Structure 1
Amino acid sequence: MYVAEDISRRAGGKTILDGVSLALPPGTVTVLVGPNGAGKSTLLRIMAGGLPPSRGRVLLHGRDLAAWRPAELAGIRSVLSQSTGLAFGFRVEDVVRMGLPRHGVAEPPAALVAWGLEVVGLADAAGRDCTTLSGGEQQRVHLARVLVQLKATPADGRARYLFLDEPTTGLDLAHQLLLLDIARRHARAGGGVLAVLHDLNLAAQVADTIVALDGGRVVAEGTPEAVITDRLLTQVYGVDLRVNQASARVFVLPVAG
């Protein structure tokens, strides 16, 4: 289990997170939603170990996150950031290879890299200069990298966690759906997923649990049907829209007005 307990974060005299607690059970996809500046990415970074909280703690499999060695933590959780720039013209396969640990790789490195590129639909781009790819294609290269990072570590019975910070940015519709499918498959295999999404329809499609943040606090948590409501859209986003429902999933259909 991945657990955040009473997390607060202050920066520049401003409270970004205020007493947030969150659990990420294995086998589930949790999505953070909320307006710009709500604290979503900050919470994800703190839970991933990239940012210290001002108060509170994060536990991973019962151990304080601060007690994990970086190399050990890298085999348990991987993070796809909002944007990852490249200063040099690395080949696509070399970027994906950066996700591999230095020692104790579970499978041959070449096979792992090929697997990652196949999963994200870039098997034919292995030898290309990554900087010549479109923004969406580069995002998929980095997705392959973080997937390979988790798969490369020998299985030890502990759940692996995939952290995705606005992962659909720059992706076309087909690859947005592919990314959601990858997240769901990771969860079905026993892993955990924490994602930040702005598209509420994508969030409703992929999430087991949606956590809505506003002003650094959790204002709603539960299933998509329980959280994505007319009231939430008005309270959190300040818009007057109606939530609809088709089969088992809700959806928001903006209209001109």
Structure 2
Amino acid sequence: MNGHIGDSMAAFVLEEAGFRIGDRALLVPTSLTLPHRRVVGLISPNGSGKPTLLKLLARQMPAGAGTIRFEGKDLAAWIHRGFARRAGRRFDGRVKLRMPIPYS
């Protein structure tokens, strides 16, 4: 993954990013590219790591495996204020479910 989508750089690029506590994987190694200026839905079974993924993207906890880049730069290399200024416009770390989605 080079972090580019079409002519623009991706907002977030995950390469085999994961998180474990002991023997329990809260997020299995995941590769994903999230584009700028797009709404992305996370739909997966309960217990698959959606909140953990959001916490990793918001820098609330570090990835235990793999890499996460924001605008082409390793997430850990961002200075807190610089990251907050750039990412805050795109990502507020909250998930809002406005209406229930039936599961069948």
State the TM-score, normalized to the length of structure 1.
0.34
SS state at 1:41 partner? helix
SS state at 1:76 partner? helix
1:165 aligns with 2:94: yes
Match of 2:41 in 1: 31
Which 5+ residue runs of structure 2 have no aligned equivalent?
A: 1-9
The 1-side partners of 2:43 and 2:94 are apart by: 11
The percent identity for this pair of structures is 31
Q: Deviations over 1:183-239 (max 9, x none)?
A: xxxxxxxxxxxxxxxx447xxxxxxxxxxxxxxxxxxxxxxxxxxxxxxx6xxxxxx
Match of 1:206 in 2: none
Question: What amino acid sits opposite 2:37 in the alignment?
Answer: G
Deviation, structure 1 residue 163: 4.0
Question: What amino acid sits opposite 2:96 in the alignment?
Answer: P
CA contact (8 A) 1:44 1:163 kept: no
The 1-side partners of 2:37 and 2:87 are apart by: 14
Deviation, structure 1 residue 162: 1.8
Moved over 4 A (4+): none
Match of 1:50 in 2: 60
Q: Quick check: which has more Rg, 1 or 2?
A: 1
Cα distance change on mapping 1:164 and 1:67 into 2, 3 Å: closer
Q: Deviations over 1:16-40 (max 9, x none)?
A: 1112011111121111122332100
Q: Deviations over 1:66-88 (max 9, x none)?
A: 0100011110123xxxxxxxxxx
Q: Deviations over 1:37-67 (max 9, x none)?
A: 2100101111221111111111111110101
State the TM-score, normalized to the length of structure 2.
0.77
The 1-side partners of 2:30 and 2:49 are apart by: 10
Is the helix fraction higher in 1 or 2? 1
Cα distance change on mapping 1:67 and 1:26 into 2, 3 Å: same
Could you say what the CA RMSD is over the residues aligned between the two structures, in angstroms?
Answer: 2.0
Question: What amino acid sits opposite 2:91 in the alignment?
Answer: L
Which 5+ residue runs of structure 1 have no aligned equivalent?
A: 79-149, 151-160, 169-175, 178-198, 202-232, 234-240, 242-257
Match of 1:72 in 2: 82
